[in-house]
Structure 1
């Protein structure tokens, strides 16, 4: 390094370093397909430049950790983890062990995506979603202690007595990303976790979420290090705009079905129309629910369209977050969608 560089303006050098890092790009792969198919998609995502691949967790799909073990075999560098598991269907100690195992077999590429879970899905299993914020916080606090080799006794929203792991994860610290949407979970994640997976796709929602996260960061201890906010966004990309938007209907229906009143008001979505979608889902009338999804709902809750359209939306989203997780449905053709999403990523100005 030259003397001139060493003596240069530190703020300019730091700004250049920050710009060189760029946003984090993740992808959500849903094990509605066999694990080997998902593993091949993870390999494609890695070759297309994605940084993290999350295997989503729903009781009606294939097991995310089994799927992640196959994703380990087909990848070399991309980080891998569940996105997201909840501490109601599985005990937090078990989740810590499963995540440590993925970190071990991947050579230190594990991440832990954890959240409170979907209330309606848990209700189907007869599980009450009690004290979600406290349970999520206690879950990843306990996991961190277990990953550090400690023996833990915990009495809180769940019980663990003299629990320890016979696993030594190679990561010095497995990153914890909290799936969050409401104000309290967003603020808690910013205060305590390594990152947030913000369940939103529209800049208006993400701008609001950024304000909540800023409040949490104000109370974040310095020793916790950097925090990363990622938009966990439903994306549907294809060569044809109408085809991409049509593929967005199913995930948008489920998002609308669980949307809070303030979110619907933010996008001027009629409460009655939203309730008709929710009611159809509860009755198991999926075709009816998907058909009730309106264009304004797609605009509010999914980044859908051609590569060019999606690139423009990515740029708008990145005004408010540190990166984007390209989430379900991806598009009508998964391989094509991953490639198009990567192309859209390369077209952003960041």
Structure 2
């Protein structure tokens, strides 16, 4: 189980949330790099330094915004300081935001493929020369690659992106309906089938809106609609600790390896909600 610290929260709130997650034994704390809120790498570095046990997930770094060599350097640095403590995610990025900063590309799929290939090779300590449509490297290698190359997961929603991630990444973070989860898993498997080798663990992570309290259903419903989904799409976990744990169990039974819960933007007590999920919901999840 993972919980998102929304970048719309003030950065100075992160330390308290990290301490709660670490003390409660939560497995994963997820951070976002939403434009124009908080930097994913800087937030991750602080969270890793403030914690001992909880894994810190980045979901996700937008690849049009970041040169792949710089991303590899930053990941490698943190992997050497905090080995195995982070989950590194990349993705297309919000296309409107990418347009605002002059980074929008004609073919996000091509960029993501080139980026994942180069990033994973650099983190594996390889010397990379690439002359792609978007990723261009000339004899580049990291001076300080990680001792063990970390997994790189990717965020995706569409069929072509899911197949691509199955072929080129080490895991997927997605948002889909409960009924659509089997199809999403199959699309990833189709991509995996084209991969050599296709063995090894490939985690499937889903993200849900979460809320508790007397107005939980209304807040979760409003956020679900804002994200472009119907309230009946089962994309939220709402209610008391048992109700939310039951929802997580449904997704797990449908094939999700990790369920990541994201509070609503209008959550009145972000730290209290984090404590509720970590201390009351997590013990109910087997």
Same fold per superposition (TM over 0.5) = yes
Residue 272 (structure 2) pairs with residue 336 (structure 1)? yes
Contact 2:26/2:282 (8 A) holds in 1: no
* Structure 1 residue 231, shift from structure 2 partner: 0.7
Residue 305 to residue 113, structure 1, CA distance change in 2 (3 Å) = same
Q: Distance in 1 between matches of 2:17 and 2:173?
A: 21
Task: Structure 2: give runs of 5+ residues left out of the alignment.
Answer: none
Task: Structure 1: give runs of 5+ residues left out of the alignment.
Answer: 1-24, 257-263, 270-295
Question: 1:326: which partner in 2?
Answer: 261
* Structure 2 length-normalised TM: 0.87
Question: 1:261: which partner in 2?
Answer: none
* Structure 1 residue 213, shift from structure 2 partner: 2.4
* Structure 1 residue 250, shift from structure 2 partner: 6.1
Q: How many residues align?
A: 282
Corresponding residue SS for 2:268: coil
Residue 252 (structure 2) pairs with residue 315 (structure 1)? no
Question: 1:346: which partner in 2?
Answer: 283
Residue 38 (structure 2) pairs with residue 62 (structure 1)? yes
User: Quick one: which of 245, 266, 283 aligns to 2:217?
Assistant: 245
Residue 80 (structure 2) pairs with residue 146 (structure 1)? no
Residue 328 to residue 151, structure 1, CA distance change in 2 (3 Å) = farther
Question: 1:162: which partner in 2?
Answer: 139
Question: 1:218: which partner in 2?
Answer: 193
* Structure 1 length-normalised TM: 0.72
Residue 129 to residue 302, structure 1, CA distance change in 2 (3 Å) = farther
User: Quick one: which of 41, 44, 48 aligns to 1:72?
Assistant: 48
Larger radius of gyration between Structure 1 and Structure 2: 1
* Structure 1 residue 44, shift from structure 2 partner: 1.6
Question: 1:255: which partner in 2?
Answer: 227
* Structure 1 residue 249, shift from structure 2 partner: 5.5
Contact 2:122/2:145 (8 A) holds in 1: no
Contact 2:178/2:234 (8 A) holds in 1: no
Q: Distance in 2 between matches of 1:333 and 1:212?
A: 38
**Post-superposition CA distance 1:137-183 (Å, at most 9, x none):** 2212211221233332211122222323233324x121111101111
Residue 35 (structure 2) pairs with residue 100 (structure 1)? no
* Structure 1 residue 195, shift from structure 2 partner: 0.9
More helix as a share of residues: 1
Question: 1:113: which partner in 2?
Answer: 89
Residue 238 (structure 2) pairs with residue 304 (structure 1)? yes
Q: Distance in 2 between matches of 1:250 and 1:164?
A: 47
Could you tell which deviates more after superposition, 189-198 or 26-35? Answer: 26-35
**Post-superposition CA distance 1:206-258 (Å, at most 9, x none):** 2331232232333343465111101122222x2x242x2343366434411xx
Q: Distance in 2 between matches of 1:31 and 1:124?
A: 19
Q: Distance in 2 between matches of 1:214 and 1:153?
A: 29
Residue 208 to residue 241, structure 1, CA distance change in 2 (3 Å) = farther
Alignment of 1:2-81 (within 5 A): 25-81=1-57
